[in-house]
Amino acid sequence: MNIGTWKQTPGLAWRNLWRNRRRTLITVSMIAFGFALAVVSIGLGDGGHNAMIRNAIRMGDGHLTVQPRGYLTSPANYRFLHAGGEVLAQVQGAGLAGRVAPRVSLQLLASSATNAIGVALQGIQPGRDPLHDVLGDSLVDGDWLEPGDHRGLLIGESLSRKLDADVGNKVVLMAGGRDGQTISQLGRVRGIFRTGLDELDGYVLLSDLALARQFLYAEGATPEAAPLTRIAVFLDDAEALPAAKTALADAVTAREAVVLDWQEMMPQLVSFIVVDDVGNYIWLVFILVMVAFGILNTILMSVLERTREFGLLRALGVSPAQLLTLVLLETIQLAIVALVAGWLLALGGHAYFAIKGLDLSAMGEEMLMTSGAMMDPILRTELSAGRVTSLTLLVFVTTLLAGIYPAFRAARVSPVAALHE
């Protein structure tokens, strides 16, 4: 082709596109709406998933966890980092941007005057552990734990009811130790929290590290080594996870310790997100099929209506390849116009759902808790540049592919047959 033709063909394609203005506008609207729907749907899906991940990390053991080998598959009170202090120093020495939370996690029996219940005790640093940010606003009675309070306990509201233990009451914590002995520690309720999640409110107690460590000493730990069950690392920038994991793995040389990321710690959450994404992809395929057939119908009808005109163009010297290019250009221009319109609609939808969100609180707590992670009651869209770029390209390529058959149809027009229709 020569330069003159290159200048002319896109302009000719553009004019052809608007010959039947109504049909083109309907097709553009259909594609734009479908695209916007896909973007908002993906945004809500990603927003929900990201919220679940953030909540799971916040309320769990961070972006990265350093814990004993084998603990993930077989958690037990007797599995802990014997040289907890040394491992903690190695973690802090890795120079990661974020917060480090040493913890002791135990399965115990909590008993009061009226009841005894299996509980999970989380020993933390009261003034510094991120759990304070998560649970701090959930206190319904009493106070948060103070640093140095080696007997204080924070318990959930429903656990408080089960044990009939209010602020100021005693609770005895018991566990079996090495050699079959029973270890017990006395705690006093300092505060009661209510998160709305029975998995926390009915089961978890928080205490100072010192109280929890007493049970580890009964398992053979030495106080000087500052034993820990795990060290949770909360990164300031979640995107830095891969590099942070590598740096942490290099820094932690203790053979008893292993570095895990949140995906390894919460595989059921990862699986849920993957399965949920499949549902989104099926929806996306449906939208793409709709787009493809819409384009095919419009462009093919346009080609069939212009059979004689194509015959004329061929007679004048336009080659089959040039006709093919003309129709493909019409398809490309249609795709661009539709995607621009779709983007405007999608941005509007995204803005609405990003600010106002979708209120899911009526679904109730059970529906909001999935695979051990909590969805936010207000679902907001989150769009990543990568996802949206991929979707745009996907719609564009689908449109182009849908235009191939009509383009070939146009190129194969026989000038003799077409002119004498």
Partner 1 sequence: MALVQTDGLTKRYKQGDVDVYALRDVSLDFEVGEFSALVGPSGSGKTTLLNLIGGLDEPTRGKILLDGQDLVGMSERDRSQYRLHKVGFIFQAYNLVPVLSALENVEFIMVLQGRPQSEYRQRAMDYLARVGLADLAHRRPKALSGGQQQRVAVARALAAGPRLVLADEPTANLDSESASDLLELMARMNQEDGVTFIFSTHDQRVMAKARRIITLKDGQVHDIRSGTEPLHLD
Please list, residue by residue across 387-413, b when 16 or more beta carbons sit within 10 angstroms of its beta carbon and e when fewer do.
ebeebbebbbebbbebbeebbebbbeb
Alpha-carbon distance of 185 to 111, in angstroms, equals 11
Return the number of the residue (124 or 334) whose C-beta is nearest partner 1.
Answer: 334
Q: How far is CA 324 from the centre of its chain?
A: 44
Return the number of the residue (15 or 69) whose C-beta is nearest partner 1.
Answer: 15
| Shortest reach from residue 348's CB to partner 1, in Å | 33
| Shortest reach from residue 347's CB to partner 1, in Å | 32
| Shortest reach from residue 28's CB to partner 1, in Å | 18
Q: Count how many residues are written for the chain.
A: 421
Alpha-carbon distance of 300 to 294, in angstroms, equals 10
8 A C-beta contact, residue 304 and residue 394: no
Burial (Cβ within 10 Å: 0-12, 13-18, ≥19) of residue 275: exposed
Return the number of the residue (8 or 361) whose C-beta is nearest partner 1.
Answer: 8
Half-sphere exposure (Cβ direction) of 266: Cα atoms closer than 13 Å: 25
| Shortest reach from residue 4's CB to partner 1, in Å | 4
Alpha-carbon distance of 62 to 231, in angstroms, equals 9
Half-sphere exposure (Cβ direction) of 263: Cα atoms closer than 13 Å: 10
Return the number of the residue (179 or 421) whose C-beta is nearest partner 1.
Answer: 421
Return the number of the residue (296 or 318) whose C-beta is nearest partner 1.
Answer: 318
Return the number of the residue (372 or 415) whose C-beta is nearest partner 1.
Answer: 415
| Shortest reach from residue 18's CB to partner 1, in Å | 8
Return the number of the residue (15 or 178) whose C-beta is nearest partner 1.
Answer: 15
Q: Give the interface with partner 1 as residue ranges (CB under 8 A).
A: 2-5, 7-8, 12, 15-16, 19, 308-309, 312-320, 322, 415-416, 419-420
Q: Which one-letter DSSP state was computed for residue 146?
A: P
Q: Which one-letter DSSP state was computed for residue 257?
A: E
Return the number of the residue (8 or 268) whose C-beta is nearest partner 1.
Answer: 8
| Shortest reach from residue 309's CB to partner 1, in Å | 7
| Shortest reach from residue 316's CB to partner 1, in Å | 6
Helices of type H across 109-221? 131-135, 157-163, 198-201, 209-217
The packing angle between helices 21-59 and 320-355, to 10°, is 50
| Shortest reach from residue 9's CB to partner 1, in Å | 10
Pairing of strands 204-208, 116-124: parallel
